[in-house]
């Protein structure tokens, strides 16, 4: 079982040589708090309301608040990430030809269009090996939808890239999710974008304080 202490220990080791930098602004802290409370693994609706008010009161725009929701709603893609790889392994074990055969014309066209030689996807391959290939082979429709949906908050761009990475980091580190492949990816991205040690550790503290999912009546 992956614990919050293990998450923090990993992050502190990763951040050993990262400059302290600036702490989170009140607005950024509120948006991160909103992200972990509205995530599918928490759905704390009172907390969502409270943090929406905090974010707006600290200067966030309505577009930035809603883009946080769109960003976090992509958490469901982790079902595709882990599930597609697991199902592909079982199918490969059973000799299913479609899992190992050369891509057909449509699959190859989708791969070239959405992945190609873009080095961005190398980091995802490192964290979730075989995910994109497994998804494409099992459902070209879901493969294309993954790219189109996850791109929405990056196209609308109400939030800057660094805060999107911090919100994603917090959601992956939250007690009811603890998704290390995403955490490692978003931690590295945040550092690459210039986020310092202080802000990242604050983000993890906000995540650790997020409630567990108690259900929706």
Give 10-residue mean pLDDT values along the chain (217 residues).
Answer: 94 97 98 97 96 98 98 94 97 96 97 94 93 97 96 95 98 96 97 98 97 90
Q: Which of 64, 72, 25, 95 is nearest to 177 (CA)?
A: 72
68 and 159 co-located in one domain: yes
160 and 53 co-located in one domain: yes
| Spatial contact of 22 and 154, defined as CB atoms under 8 Å apart | no
57 and 8 co-located in one domain: yes
CA 79 to mean position of chain CA atoms: 12
138 and 160 co-located in one domain: no
Query: How far apart, in Å, are the Cα atoms of 112 and each of 16, 106, 108, 116, 136?
Result: 38, 10, 6, 4, 12
**Is 134 a member of any domain?**
yes
| Spatial contact of 79 and 134, defined as CB atoms under 8 Å apart | no
CATH of residue 159: 1.20.1290.10
**Is 34 a member of any domain?**
yes
Structural domain count of the chain: 2
67 and 94 co-located in one domain: no
**Is 67 a member of any domain?**
yes
pLDDT of residue 120: 87
67 and 15 co-located in one domain: yes
**Is 40 a member of any domain?**
yes
Q: What is the pTM for the complete model shown?
A: 0.95
pLDDT of residue 217: 84
10 and 67 co-located in one domain: yes
31 and 58 co-located in one domain: yes
Q: Domain boundary residue among 150, 165, 188? A: 150
**Is 88 a member of any domain?**
yes
**Is 116 a member of any domain?**
yes
| Spatial contact of 81 and 129, defined as CB atoms under 8 Å apart | no
Domain that holds residue 43: 4-75+152-208
82 and 146 co-located in one domain: yes
**Is 217 a member of any domain?**
no
90 and 71 co-located in one domain: no
Query: How far apart, in Å, are the Cα atoms of 146 and each of 60, 115, 131, 135?
Result: 28, 12, 12, 9
**Is 214 a member of any domain?**
no
pLDDT of residue 142: 97
């Amino acid at each position: 079982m992956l614990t919050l202490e293990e998450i923090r220990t990993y992050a502190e080791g990763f951040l050993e040589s990262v400059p302290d930098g600036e702490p989170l602004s009140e607005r950024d802290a509120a948006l991160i708090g909103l992200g972990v409370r509205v995530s599918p693994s928490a759905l704390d609706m009172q907390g969502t309301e409270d943090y929406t008010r905090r974010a707006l009161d600290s200067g966030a725009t309505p577009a930035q608040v809603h883009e946080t929701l769109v960003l976090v709603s992509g958490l469901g893609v982790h079902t595709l990430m882990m599930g597609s790889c697991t199902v592909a392994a079982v199918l490969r074990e059973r000799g299913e030809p479609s899992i190992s055969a050369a891509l057909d014309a449509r699959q190859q066209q989708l791969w070239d269009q959405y992945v190609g030689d873009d080095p961005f996807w190398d980091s995802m391959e490192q964290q979730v090996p075989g995910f994109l290939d497994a998804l494409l082979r099992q459902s070209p429709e879901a493969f294309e939808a993954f790219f189109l949906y996850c791109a929405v908050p990056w196209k609308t761009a109400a939030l800057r890239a660094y805060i999107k990475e911090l919100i994603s980091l917090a959601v992956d580190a939250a007690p009811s999710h603890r998704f290390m492949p995403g955490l490692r990816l978003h931690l590295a991205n945040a550092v690459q974008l210039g986020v310092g040690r202080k802000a990242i550790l604050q983000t993890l503290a906000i995540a650790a304080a997020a409630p567990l999912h108690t259900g929706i009546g």
